[in-house]
């Protein structure tokens, strides 16, 4: 189905486990704040809705999406969390800067996850323009922050399940 016809944040087809016993980190980029604040609100509210206590959500702001990797690494080094959600927004410009940043962030988040053996979730919008970003930060295509929170809950539950089996 074409993206323009679909709310990407429809979770009606999956079972989301309770997250009441988990602790989460959220690392959010300050750059493109209108978008990243909406992503953060989506993720945070979704975690609360799924029974995560406020004191079990640790939020860190970093300057931009490029810094999400080091922010996640620092958070995992000092806090006992089950998963980290990285939220940012990189909008295509006229130079190749977009490609370098997106590639570095995607690879960096993967490396931090492997280093700490914890789920580190890629909740970074990589859009062609501001309108597409707004559509995915609470607009007609849902909220990527909520999607990242669902992924974090599911991955924390998978790790918990594997540890007891």
> Which pLDDT value is given to residue 15?
81
Give the chain's residues under pLDDT 70.
1-12, 95, 165
* Per-residue pLDDT at 73: 97
pLDDT value, residue 64 = 95
pLDDT of residue 98: 74
Find all residues with CB under 8 Å of 22, minimum gap 6, and list them: 52, 56, 82, 83, 153, 156, 157, 160
CA atoms of 5 and 117, how far apart (whole Å): 37
- Domain 21-164: give its CATH code: 3.40.50.960
Options 13, 51, 97, 141, the catalytic residue: 97
55: closest CA among 23, 17, 21, 19?
23
Helix (H) or strand (E) holding 153: helix 144-164
Q: What is the structure's pLDDT at 137? A: 86
Give the pair of three-digit tokens for residue 12.
């009606």
Task: Please state the pTM of the whole predicted model.
Answer: 0.91
Annotated catalytic, 13? no
Nearest CA to 71 out of 103, 37, 116 is that of: 116
Predicted local confidence at residue 1, as pLDDT: 39
> ∠46-58-88 over CA atoms, to 5°?
65
Question: Within 13 Å, how many C-alpha atoms sit on residue 28's CB side?
Answer: 24
For residue 18, what pLDDT is reported?
86
């Amino acid at each position: 189905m074409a993206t323009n016809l679909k709310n990407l944040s429809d979770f009606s087809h999956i079972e989301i486990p309770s997250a009441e016993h988990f602790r989460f980190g959220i690392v959010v980029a300050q750059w493109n704040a209108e978008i990243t604040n909406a992503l953060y609100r989506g993720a945070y509210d979704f975690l609360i809705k799924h029974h995560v206590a406020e004191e079990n959500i640790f939020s860190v702001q970093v300057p931009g999406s490029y810094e999400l990797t080091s922010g996640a690494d620092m958070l995992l080094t000092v806090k006992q969390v089950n998963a980290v959600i990285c939220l940012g927004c990189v909008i295509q410009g006229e130079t190749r800067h977009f490609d370098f940043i997106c590639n570095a962030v995607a690879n960096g988040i993967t490396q931090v996850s492997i280093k700490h053996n914890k789920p580190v979730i890629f909740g970074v919008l990589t859009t062609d323009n501001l309108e597409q970003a707004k559509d995915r930060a609470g607009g007609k295509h849902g909220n990527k922050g909520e999607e990242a929170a669902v992924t974090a809950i599911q991955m924390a539950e998978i790790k918990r399940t594997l540890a007891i089996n």
